[in-house]
Amino acid sequence: MKGFTLLEVLVSILILSLLFAGISSVLVIGNTVFHSDLGILDLEQQVRQAMEAMLWELREASNVTMQSSDSISFNSFSGVNISYVYNDGNNDGIKDQILRQESGATRILAQDISYLLFSVSGNLVTIEVSGGKNILGKQSCFPSPCQSPLKTFNGQVRLRN
C-alpha cells in the first residue's frame, strides 16, 4: 500500500506549523520595527525642519526680542513682525509644538517638541530644540537617548541686520 501514515501526516503538519509560526513572528517584528523607524524619522524631520526654518528667518532678522526663554519675536527682512512661540498644542498642560505667528496668522511649525530654548547674546541667537513622542508604546527622542540630562539639537545664527 502506498500512502502516508497518520504519524507522518501529523509530523508534517507540526513542522509546517512551526515554520509558519516562525515566518509570521519575523513579519510581525519587521512590521513593528518599520513603524517605529517611521515614527523616529518623522520626529527627526520635525526637529530638523523647525530648526532650519527658524535659523533661516533669523539670519535676516532685526529688532530681535525675547518674551521668554521659549518665545522670540523679530522683524523680517521685509519688515513684517514674526514670532516663534513654544505652545501647548493639545491643551494637556504640556508644551509640545512650535508656532510661527506672522501678522495675526498662526501656523504650526513643528509638533512633538519636548524642549525649546532661545538665547540672545549681542547679535548671536542660539536655539536648542529636542523632540519626543510615544511610538508604539515606547518613548522616543531626538536627539537620542531619552534621559536626563536632556540632549538637544542646537543651532546658532549671527544676525545680519
Determine the 3-state secondary structure of 96 from DSSP. Answer: coil
Share the mean pLDDT of the chain.
Answer: 91
Residue-level pLDDT at 110: 94
Phi, psi of 19 (to 5 degrees): -65, -45
Instruction: Calculate the dihedral angle through the C-alpha atoms of 57, 46, 126, 52, rounding to the nearest 10 degrees.
Output: -40
Q: How confident is the model at residue 90 (pLDDT cuts 50, 70, 90)?
A: confident
Residue-level pLDDT at 1: 66
Residue-level pLDDT at 91: 86
Residue-level pLDDT at 154: 92
Residue 83 and residue 98: Cα distance in Å, rounded? 10
Q: How confident is the model at residue 151 (pLDDT cuts 50, 70, 90)?
A: confident
For cell 512661540, the residue is 85
Residue-level pLDDT at 152: 86
Q: Cα–Cα distances in Å, from 14 out to 6, 20, 28, 60, 115?
A: 12, 10, 21, 70, 53
3-state helix, strand, coil in the chain (%, to 5): 35, 40, 25
pTM confidence score:
0.79
Q: Is the pLDDT of residue 96 over 80?
A: yes
Q: Is the pLDDT of residue 52 over 70?
A: yes
Q: How confident is the model at residue 45 (pLDDT cuts 50, 70, 90)?
A: very high
More confident call, 59 vs 144: 59
Which whole number is the average pLDDT over 42-65?
A: 93
Q: Is the pLDDT of residue 27 over 70?
A: yes
